[in-house]
Structure 1
């Protein structure tokens, strides 16, 4: 069955790679900040792909209006957007709150759907302590991967009543403009992305972390428990999706 799929950060890197693999036989909306780049990428991907220009940190209402004009429901929301943050506020706004606010505002279209968060290496997520310090690059990147995992755990539980499944996926190292080292990579494919979104046997998975091979990864359930996720994220998440 043809799916309606929305991909944030879909004009480059991981998001674009997965959009390319899905665009042959599914309806895709790719979202990005750069209008010229986004329109060019959508044209490359073909007639099943629409580009919407939006800044997820500040332009959610306009984005929702445009998605509503295109789709009556969303089968899969792939949260692939992100930036290299120069400070704490940039990190919180663009790499955590933008994902949460996108889910929150698209909730009416997502009923019964699937949310997939693109995240970091599962080994790093397992060993890095959860910490609120963001004084340097290493601390900010550590904060991102741990807090996105907390967000996945949190959303997977509170969105159950809407029959929305929320999981995380590490795509491996893929060429992108995000970081200096990723700009020099040769790999442009996310081989398991399409499978994780479309595989019928995974449809009922919820709160699961998948690695680049599509295998389930066991994260520390004490470290990433729902109660701990809720407690830590309360400082950032001002809107309760259960209201």
Structure 2
């Protein structure tokens, strides 16, 4: 798929991986970023070209309705949606007062259910384009869960399954052109999002963004970034060994 002359929506585009994707793609595409914090979005707008910011909480049904309406009205050529907004709570199920139910509920809503809703509402608009794609930002944790990220891992596993089902469902449609579905699966990334679990030891968000761009150009639909590629091989050979590796020294 081409990586220029697109109109791209990036949720959670004001910081971290989303911001770096916006930065890399903004030179050759029209970019719309969303997020809950106006200050972060406006800072991105001031730094980048070809970018529009819309304050919206993807967990809020009214915000999503307003976002979809604005995209249809003011950005009718929208042809790529990058579902990047995410939430991670760091805790163990055995922690006293872990509040696992509340935390997992937030993560399932943010990392999975909100994507299902936004995708369903934007699918008709993307179906009017000559070339279109959804990009779901998943995680290495979709393959094996970590004990310090129990709810996050479950939500990303759900997103992984959803991405596969969506891809196959769109492939089976007689309506053409085909809407492509990419899944970006980074390992630990050095952002504020992962600070609590040693994010400073992770790869750069710039590397994640560049890997995504190269994969889109080559139509690589399941994108194993950095260490995810080797971990996936381990997972295929021994799911038990992968699980132990994910939870070593934790």
Q: TM over 0.5, yes or no?
A: yes
Q: Quick one: distance in 2 between partners of 1:31 and 1:174? A: 21
- 1:74 is matched with 78
Give 1:74 deviation, angstroms. Answer: 2.2
Give 1:181 deviation, angstroms. Answer: 3.2
2:222 to 209, 221, 230: 209
Residues 135-193 of structure 1: CA distance to partner in whole angstroms, max 9, x if unpaired?
A: x8532122022111111112112233252211211234333232323653572412212
- 1:165 is matched with 180
Q: Quick one: distance in 1 between partners of 2:225 and 2:124? A: 30
- 1:51 is matched with 53
1:28 aligns with 2:27: no
> How do residues 72-221 of structure 1 correspond to structure 2 at under 5 angstroms?
72-85=76-89, 87-111=103-127, 112-121=131-140, 124-128=141-145, 137-160=148-171, 161=173, 163-179=178-194, 180-181=196-197, 184=200, 187-189=204-206, 190=208, 191-197=210-216, 199=217, 201-202=218-219, 208-212=221-225
Q: Quick one: distance in 2 between partners of 1:52 and 1:137? A: 33
Q: Quick one: distance in 2 between partners of 1:138 and 1:183? A: 14
Q: With structure 2 as the length reference, what TM-score do the two structures score?
A: 0.72
Q: Quick one: distance in 1 between partners of 2:8 and 2:117? A: 18
Residues 74-95 of structure 1: CA distance to partner in whole angstroms, max 9, x if unpaired?
A: 2211111111245222122111
Question: Is this contact kept in 2: 1:174–1:182, CA < 8 A?
Answer: no
Structure 2 alignment gaps of length 5 or more: 90-101, 240-250
Question: Is this contact kept in 2: 1:76–1:116, CA < 8 A?
Answer: yes
Going from structure 1 to structure 2, the CA distance change for 1:166 and 1:182 (only over 3 Å counts) comes to farther
After TM superposition, which residue ranges in structure 1, 4 or more long, deviate above 6 angstroms?
217-220
Larger helix fraction of residues:
2
- 1:236 is matched with none
RMSD over equivalenced CA pairs, Å: 2.8
Going from structure 1 to structure 2, the CA distance change for 1:88 and 1:125 (only over 3 Å counts) comes to closer
Going from structure 1 to structure 2, the CA distance change for 1:11 and 1:185 (only over 3 Å counts) comes to farther
Higher Cα radius of gyration: 2
